[in-house]
Structure formats: structure tokens, C-alpha cells
Structure 1
Amino acid sequence: MSVHLTTERLVLRRFTAADADLLVELDSDPEVMRHLSGGRATPREVVERELLPGYLDEYRRHPSFGHWAALDRAGGEFLGWFEFRPHPGGPPGEVELGYRLRRAAWGRGYATEGARALIRRGFAELGVERVFATTMAVNLGSRRVMEKAGLRLVRTFHEDWPEPIEGAEHGDVEYALERADRCGGPGAAAGRSGGPG
């Protein structure tokens, strides 16, 4: 198992070609997919031919970044994944934070714990200058995680989605954290993120 990092309760490791079933199961829960596809499952063919090969390719291109399988440190159970990677076409030093957890893991602080650990490592060890995350404006759970991880609301924006889902009319939001803010510059955000969520 190629471990990327560990926290008090999580192990984040690289995905392998044997993880397709885990991703298919995760993306088959209508509640997990509600703010992504309106609840539609990701077809197995898409997982096997596009998503998983894409994750594996990310490690080759950016060894310290990518999508990371999140496991419960105590029992090894698959909880979901975290994304921490350069955004295609984005400026150097900017990375996107994302997460998708099984419903059984919701409300237990795992998303906040993993996000904070990735942000901390990104700024301390990986030369990251800015972390950003986006979600639908109506996805209050994901927005709370971003806030608890220290990110601040930057903007609300509207995309022209080919297949809009419920809530899309309210737009999407971007949250971000700059290295200068995290490291004690003007308007430092460190320490303001609140308890685990």
C-alpha cells in the first residue's frame, strides 16, 4: 500500500487498478451523487476506462498530488477519497481540494480532518501557494467542510451545465486559502476554522 499521509483517524493512499469496485460503490449512492449528477450513478465503464486510469496517471505526472483513497486508520474500511492536485490549465502553485465520502462517514469530521492535513502538507512541504475548492451553492455540508478547513468564500459563479441538476440555478461557489493567509500574513486564517465537522 503506497501511503500518502496519515492523520489521527485516516490513512490516505494511492489508488490501484484493483480499486474499481470501491469507486463504483461510492458513486452508486444517490445521496453521495446528489450535488454532482443529480443522484445518477457513475457507470462502471466510466470508472474503469476513465476515472481510475486518470487517477493512476496523475501519480506519474505529479507524484505528490492526485486523488487519494481514504481508509479508516483503525479498521481499514474504505471511506471515500480526497483530491489535492493542480487544476488543469491553472497557475503554478495552485491546487484544487476535493472530497467524496461514503454516506456512513458523513458528519464524523473525516472530511475536515483529511482536508486540513492535505492543506497543511501542501503549504509546508509541496510548495503550494493557493488551495481552492468548489461546490454547488446549495451544498451546505461541503461548504461547512471548506470553512472548517480554513478556506474562505471567494465568489459565487454560474456555469452553463449541459444537464442542470436541482439547485443549479443558485450557482456554484469557490472557496480558497492563500499561503500568506495560512502562514500568518495579513488576514491570517490559521486557527479560525473551528472544530471538527
Structure 2
Amino acid sequence: MDVFLETERLVLRRFTEADVDNLVLLDSDPEVMRFLTGEPTPRVVIEREVLPGILRDYRVGPAGRWAVIERAGGKFVGWLGIQPAEDGSVREVELGYRLVASVWGRGYATEGARALVGKGFSELGVERVWAQTMAVNVGSRRVMEKVGLRYVRTFHVHFDDPLPGTEHGEVEYELRQADWVASERS
């Protein structure tokens, strides 16, 4: 197992070709996909696009998405990531997380995201972490705030087939390295 990061309860490791079934299971839960696409990601898309994209990011730079494994029991529970720019630059990265519904409310997203953001700022040269979600996705917004990201703006995007709640817009949050350093000192 190629471990990227460990927390008290989680191990973040590199994805491998053997993770197709884990990603299919994750993306087939309607609750998990509710604020993303509203529908399951087809297996063929995971095999041909999603997983190859994750693996390609490892070759481009130090940021990307990692499989989240519970330390107690070794169960796959989702992914956490700090996505680099297309060129692999980590100056600004997008924080993301997707966990199986059965572990929601346990603080895993917050625990893993805090550790990931800390590693980004302290070891990878990240200057700004940002994240977006639908304005109505209160759970995801709460994670962003607990990790230290601050609300930046609400904006509206046109979708041909909008999800329920789209009319309330998307929100962006951010945390800059200088603010993270200041918060770590206090």
C-alpha cells in the first residue's frame, strides 16, 4: 500500500487499478451523488476516465486524489484530494472529498481534509486551497468551515438539466497559506 498520509483514524493511499469496484460502489449511491451529478457514474466512465485521470495526476505532480481507508478494519470509505491545476502546479489546489454515506457524521471528511490541507501548505508548496459546492449542500459547507476555509462568494452556473437546489447557486470557499500559518500558531 502506497501511503500518502495517515491520521488518527484514516489512511490516505494512492489509488491503483484494483480500485475500480471501490469507485463504482461509491459513485453508485444516489445520496453520495445528490449534489454532484444526481446520478450514478457508469462503470465504463470510471474505468476509462475517472481512475485513469486519478492515476495520471500522480505522474504530473505531488497533489491529487487518494483512497481513504479506515485504520480500524481497512475498509475503503471514499476519497479525499487536493486537485492540482491541469499542468500539475500546486500553487492553487481544489479541496475535494467523497465518502460513502455510511460514514457521514463521523468527522472523517474534516479529519482527512485538515491533514491534507496541512500537508499541502507545509510540504507541497500550496499557496491557496479552494473548494466549491452547491449552496444547499450544508454538510459539505460545514466541512469546509471546520477545515478553516472561508466563504468567498456565491455564483450561478447555467445547467441544461439542473439538480434540485441549483437555483440557490454555487459557493466558493478558500484558505490561504498565510492564514493557515497564523491559525496554526494560535
Q: Deviations over 1:17-39 (max 9, x none)?
A: 0110000000110000000112x
1:83 corresponds to which of 81, 84, 88: 81
Residue matched to 1:23: 23
Match of 2:126 among 128, 144, 153: 128
**Number of the residue aligned with 2:58:** 59
Instruction: Write out per-residue CA displacement over residues 43-90 of structure 1, whole angstroms, 9 at most, x where no aligned residue.
Output: 00000000000000000111x211100000111000100111213379
Q: Which residue of 2 aligns with 1:140?
A: 138
- The Cα of 1:101 is off from its aligned counterpart by 0.2
Matches within 5 A, 1:113-192: 113-184=111-182, 189-190=183-184
TM-score calculated relative to the size of structure 2: 0.95
Taking the aligned partners of 1:82 and 1:104, their CA distance within structure 2 comes to 16
User: How many residues in Structure 1 have an aligned counterpart in Structure 2?
Assistant: 186
* Aligned partner letter, 2:161: E
What is the CA-CA distance between 1:156 and the residue it aligns to? 0.5
Fraction of identical pairs, as percent: 63
Equivalent residue, structure 2, for 1:41: 40
- Aligned partners of 1:150 and 1:190 also within 8 Å: no
CA RMSD between the two structures? 1.6
User: Which stretch of the first structure deviates more once superposed, 130-139 or 92-101?
Assistant: 92-101
Q: Which residue identity does 2:5 align to in structure 1?
A: L
Which amino acid in the other structure matches residue 107 of structure 1?
A: G
Point out 4+ residue stretches in structure 1 off by more than 6 angstroms. none
Structure 1-normalised TM-score? 0.90
Q: Does the residue aligned with 1:22 lie in a helix, a strand or coil?
A: helix
2:93 corresponds to which letter in structure 1?
V
Return closer, same or farther for 1:70/1:148 CA change in 2, 3 Å cut-off.
same
1:195 alignment counterpart:
none
* 3-state SS in 2 of match to 1:131: strand
Mapped contact 2:144–2:173 kept (Cα < 8 A):
yes
- 1:4 partner amino acid: F
